[in-house]
Amino acid sequence: MRVFRVAVLKGDGIGPETVSEALRVLKKVEEIFGVTFHFEEGLIGGEAIDKKGDPLPDETLDLCKRSDAVLLGAVGGPKWDDLPTEKRPEKGLLRIRKELDLYANLRPAKVWEPLIDASPLKPEVVKGTDMVVVRELTGDLYYGEPRGVFEEKGVRVGINTMRYTEEEIRRVVRKAFEVARRRRRKLTSVDKSNVLEVSRLWREVVEEERKNFPEVEVEHLYVDNCAMQMVRRPTDFDVIVTSNMFGDILSDEAGVVVGSLGMLPSASLGDKHALYEPVHGSAPDIAGKGIANPIATILSASMMLRFSFGLSEASDLVEKAVERTLEEGWRTPDIYSEGCKKVGTKEMTDRIIENMERLRDEVA
């Protein structure tokens, strides 16, 4: 029997609720596919600050490094907003990405047919949208040095440094090509090479790497044009690869295009480690009320099955069960519309697990 070690970091806000539901789905995967997951919990974010005085304790980092994958809920909340920047919960998230060298962030943005009306775009424009934004995650303005606020001649000056090495670009671009090769074989590289020298290097590396993936079609777009085209023709995109800051913005735009952040999973991949988390935040205003949407975390666990464990059949089953549950009209409050059946966090997961069983029986 195959055994996979999963570090479970539930975090803050609704994180403990949605992660707990994703673990229930993974336990059903154990039952159906004859695999075993060994779950071990660690502290991160505000919870870790309260208990250990550190948003990413050393023992949590050690746990993640010896695990096959990390499943994360969410970090942060108003309780910790007044802490110094270096002590806030979000610093734990930035540090774990850097320490595990998670350089490629994959954010799928798919329009689920039963939720097509949730998109602000016309149904005929958004129908069929299914893209993945691959965002470089450990470089760019978020990590470049020098950085900070300084005083020069009596005037405050803010500095952030946009910096990439050739290899930092190459490895995330190569990862994006590999993802595109398994999908519809189209890669859109996004930069600002008409203005930024960093982007010129980015485009050069993409052109060099495309020779290794001749089956993948490549297009280059400036970031401002890409933002416009994602609204005008979202169905034309398959895989988008871009830098940390541009990817941060475009992946959120993609979330709006498809209609609900509560439905969006993500994967942060490196060569040795991987972390999976929903795109939505900790939503402290609804924490503990049992109404949070667990689907983004469940789909993040599904990505873990596919990318870290090679369990594509299990991943497909989870995604089909989510889609069938939506087709049946079950909705948490964030995606509810008139005529549907409103349920809470646990009840939504119950329906998904039931559909996993039904779909398995149909195949059998």
Catalytic residues: 142, 192, 224, 248, 252
Question: Side chain identity at 164, as an amino acid letter?
Answer: Y
Q: Residues with Cβ < 8 Å from 118, sequence gap 6 or more?
A: 258, 259, 260, 335, 337
SS3 assignment, position 148: strand
Question: Side chain identity at 259, as an amino acid letter?
Answer: G
Q: Where are the alpha helices (DSSP H) in 35-165?
A: 46-52, 58-65, 89-99, 123-126
Q: Residues with Cβ < 8 Å from 88, sequence gap 6 or more?
A: 55, 76, 80, 81
Number of separate helices (H) and strands (E) present in the chain: 12, 14
- Phi, psi (degrees; rounded to nearest 5) at 48: -70, -35
SS3 assignment, position 119: coil
Q: With contact defined as beta carbons under 8 Å apart, do 189 and 206 qualify? A: yes
- Phi, psi (degrees; rounded to nearest 5) at 154: 80, 5
Give the CB-side neighbour count of residue 101, counting CA atoms within 13 A. 8
